[in-house]
Structure 1
Amino acid sequence: MALVTDNDSGLVAETNTTGKSYVLPFILITCLFFLWGMAHNLDSVLIPHLKKACQLNNRQSTLIDTAVYLAYFLMAIPAGMMLKKFGYKNSIICGLLLFAFGAVLFVPAADTRAYAMFLGALFIIGCGLTILETAANPYAAILGDPAGATTRLNLAASFNGLAAMVAPLIGANFILSGKEYTPAQMAAMTETARQTYLQGEASSVKLPYIILASVLVLVAVLFYFVNLPEIRNVSKEPTSGGSFFGVLKHRHLLMGVLAQFFYVGAQVCVTSFFIRMAKQGGGFDEKTASYYLGLYGFLFMAGRFVGTGLLRFVSSARLLAIYAVIAAALCGVAVLGSGSYVIYALGALGFFMSIMFPTIFALGIDGLGDDTKPASSWLVMSIIGGAILPYVMATVIDYNHDQIQPGYIIPLLCFLFILYYGLIGYKIKRQPITA
């Protein structure tokens, strides 16, 4: 049996052969990054789509984000407990099946055009995603040469970026109809015509989510039959013994949790209102706006690959700080600018946000040893920012008479905190941990 040790986290991956045995597990883990990226980026299409199909206002439409990210908050502790009790492989299979079940529930939700049922399905999907992210993020970081943990996590997360490009294209071609009517036109329709139109809009989500559910079950079967090396702790650093609240004595983790809260909130704010901003500010129809969101996804993916390369030459904390400065400046353009170039600024945000989540995650669990699993739960739980901050942004938009631009002040403020984390907050201050 060979052991590969991560000297920073103090974890060891066990395998019966050489390091080459990590190739297939790493490929499968990378598939998970793509799959949950599909779920999140389809939400960016669902928000304007269900706003139309279910006749919602801005704040009601952001409950889509709330349902998913509230699940992250509520499920993070159970997910961490599941990891400790059942290990990575069984937890991943459970997460995939839960994700698939939520996707299947889109069929009755669409048939009844019940927004509450859509939210329930999204909450279940969020629970599955929580388990997957709690397991896969630290697993990708540990699975291989310890010197490349951050680079490896960014590489896996690059396929999350691929999903950010693919999902809007799927949305444009299979979910969004391109049919939009003004309130006056809707009022002029007969009740039968209006209901037929709205039902058709709601039903368009069924096929993509049925296919997604089928793929998830297939991947779960693959995980069942593949040997995944388990990970155990060999750290000599003081830990809290895996205590859930004790890990917050690590200051760099606490700051990382806050940074992740603001990052996820910022990212969801940017993408949730991207299509409506492209329609309002750029004058595009919803299908064209979705293609521009696909351009954002392409730049997000490109940023992940470029960032992974840059991490060979620039420290992860420094690159995080540089990207945060540029992202804040681009948000400033979105707030103060005018014309279609505002959309290009929002698209460019994809490139500079790309490395933030995995980099904050890797910096947050650095040197934690036995505390890595509960720390991962905290970092995943911090994704609750995606439930709270878009609602705050929607409130700003509603108070500004449905003008989208002022709302982008919210992600701008988030990037300023991430800048602080990249400059100061990530630094480890080791201290004895008492029981």
Structure 2
Amino acid sequence: MAVVAPSTLGPPTTDHDQNTPSYTSALSSLTVLFFMMGFITCLNDILIPYLKSIFQLNYTQANLINFCFFGAYFVMGIPAGWLVKRLGYKGGMLTGFVVAALGCFLFYPAAASRSYGLFLAALFVLATGVVLLQVAGNPYVAILGPARSAPARLTLTQAFNSLGTTVAPLLGTWLILSHLPALDTPQAAAAIDVRAVQVPYLGIGAVLLVISALLALLKLPTITHAPAAGSSSQSILQYRHLLLGMVGIFAYVGGEVAIGSHIVSYLHLPEVMNMAPAVAGKQVSYYWGGAMVGRFIGAYLLNKFNPGRLLAFNAIGAVLLLIISALTRGEVAMWSLLAVGLMNSIMFATIFTLAVAGLGRHTEQASGLLNVAIVGGAIVPLLFAVVADASSLRWAFVLPVLCYAYIFWYGLKGHVFRLPAV
């Protein structure tokens, strides 16, 4: 079934949206895709303390995990956009699942050889598959229905992404972090059982291949784009709201990942909670669980309130919570940090849909560019770690504060759609 996307997230439409068919079954099947993307990505929060112990790494070295994983978005984002344009949304998703499965299988030889370099290479391959899933999945959901409800629709499917990020720390802590020794010494690190990371990733790879096979059997609607607003000869880089949206995605993913990747270390600090890694790892679920709850709520609120203003409200809430956490101790410091997950909830979907508004046939290319901006998840956490090594984790929270401050501005002013000058 081929369907023309209704103005493809163009400026607000009215009666045109009323003729848009229902895509409930297609959207329901895509929730599995978003769940797995969240599950895979959030396991990095468990891998960082695990590999930090096994290889005796400092914060900066351990954050090469995020650098390689999210760096794949920078390297592969635009090629993924081209591939999705050639293969279609469904073909892009199928390819993404297979490549991600290959990355998971590479964890076995990486763990067997106890090579940090091979771990990073496996993560890059795994992330390349996730990039394809993101580039195909996000715009497909965004254009699969009325333009005016795109932020709410993508936020709802992103809620299942957050379900994956909520489950991953619990399962990862049980399967992986529970095998860490009580003492973090070179002798204890040499005795760590590498099967704790081999078996879970082999299982994840097998599940990804099964999902890919099932997706191949599904009949998903084929979308044909309406023309973009403005002249057909316009360069995509002339759309100001898209370029500013790329910075927004960079800031959001960077801030979110920098916080999530260091929750275990933060809660381990004596002045915060002095928790053991296996205990602190379970608390990470509250951070991602808050995002899940917020996305289900946000899917309703985004149909009632202006998406830009709601984005700005959440961003300033994240800033205030981070400042509270950095200035307090004990449970107040812990819960204020974990509550940032609730503020994160609507950010990705809202920034994404505001950034691709009115781009029509440029949508796949725009999606590739926005996914390149996810490299913020590589850059910001690495800078966070450098600051933490040089001073403290508390001072490093300055970086996420700056990220959310930019998102606050984008929600108020930066997202406004303007036709490029001819």
Report the TM-score range of the alignment, normalised by the length of the smaller protein. over 0.9
Within 5 Å, which residues of 2 pair with 1:414-433?
414-433=403-422
CA contact (8 A) 2:3 2:224 kept: no
Aligned match of 1:214:
206
CA contact (8 A) 1:321 1:419 kept: yes
**Inter-CA distance 240–125: structure 2 relative to 1 (3 Å threshold):** farther
Aligned match of 1:234:
226
Aligned match of 1:7:
7
Once the two structures are superposed, residues 163-188 of structure 1 have per-residue CA deviations (whole angstroms, 9 ceiling, x without a partner) of 121000011111112643446xx36x
Question: 1-side partners of 2:158 and 2:369: how far apart?
Answer: 19
Alpha-carbon shift at residue 27 of structure 1 (Å): 2.0
- Matched AA of 1:203: R
Secondary structure of the residue aligned to 1:312 is coil
Aligned match of 1:174:
175
Within 5 Å, which residues of 2 pair with 1:113-124?
113-124=114-125
Aligned match of 2:248:
259
Aligned match of 2:364:
373
**Inter-CA distance 303–194: structure 2 relative to 1 (3 Å threshold):** closer
Aligned match of 1:277:
266
Question: 2-side partners of 1:5 and 1:182: how far apart?
Answer: 57
Question: 1-side partners of 2:131 and 2:228: how far apart?
Answer: 29
Question: 2-side partners of 1:99 and 1:19: how far apart?
Answer: 32
CA contact (8 A) 2:6 2:226 kept: no
CA contact (8 A) 1:149 1:362 kept: yes
CA contact (8 A) 1:68 1:387 kept: yes
Q: Is 1:165 matched with 2:166? A: yes
- Matched AA of 1:9: L
CA contact (8 A) 1:6 1:147 kept: no
Residue 396 of structure 1, aligned match among 383, 387, 401: 387
- Matched AA of 1:65: N
Question: 2-side partners of 1:179 and 1:37: how far apart?
Answer: 24
Aligned match of 1:291:
282
CA contact (8 A) 2:2 2:221 kept: no
Residue 409 of structure 1, aligned match among 390, 398, 404: 398
**Inter-CA distance 194–19: structure 2 relative to 1 (3 Å threshold):** closer
CA contact (8 A) 2:65 2:123 kept: yes
CA contact (8 A) 1:397 1:406 kept: yes
- Matched AA of 1:392: L
Alpha-carbon shift at residue 337 of structure 1 (Å): 1.7
CA contact (8 A) 1:92 1:131 kept: yes
Runs of 4+ in structure 1 off by over 4 angstroms are none
Secondary structure of the residue aligned to 2:152 is helix
Provide the alpha-carbon RMSD of the alignment.
1.8
Within 5 Å, which residues of 2 pair with 1:28-427?
28-177=29-178, 179-182=180-183, 186=185, 189=187, 195=190, 197-198=191-192, 200=193, 202-235=194-227, 237-238=229-230, 246-280=235-269, 281-400=272-391, 403-427=392-416
Once the two structures are superposed, residues 119-166 of structure 1 have per-residue CA deviations (whole angstroms, 9 ceiling, x without a partner) of 000000111111110110000011123332111101100001111210
CA contact (8 A) 1:10 1:370 kept: no
Ranges in structure 1 where 5+ consecutive residues have no aligned partner: 12-17
CA contact (8 A) 2:308 2:415 kept: yes
Alpha-carbon shift at residue 57 of structure 1 (Å): 1.1
- Matched AA of 1:166: V
Secondary structure of the residue aligned to 1:19 is coil
Question: 1-side partners of 2:164 and 2:96: how far apart?
Answer: 18
CA contact (8 A) 1:80 1:374 kept: yes
Alpha-carbon shift at residue 8 of structure 1 (Å): 4.9
- Matched AA of 1:385: G
Alpha-carbon shift at residue 307 of structure 1 (Å): 1.0
CA contact (8 A) 2:237 2:243 kept: yes
- Pick which of 329-338 and 53-62 moved more: 329-338
CA contact (8 A) 1:59 1:394 kept: yes
Question: 2-side partners of 1:136 and 1:142: how far apart?
Answer: 10
TM-score w.r.t. length of structure 2? 0.93
Question: 2-side partners of 1:239 and 1:344: how far apart?
Answer: 50
**Inter-CA distance 287–194: structure 2 relative to 1 (3 Å threshold):** closer
Secondary structure of the residue aligned to 1:231 is strand
Aligned pair count? 412
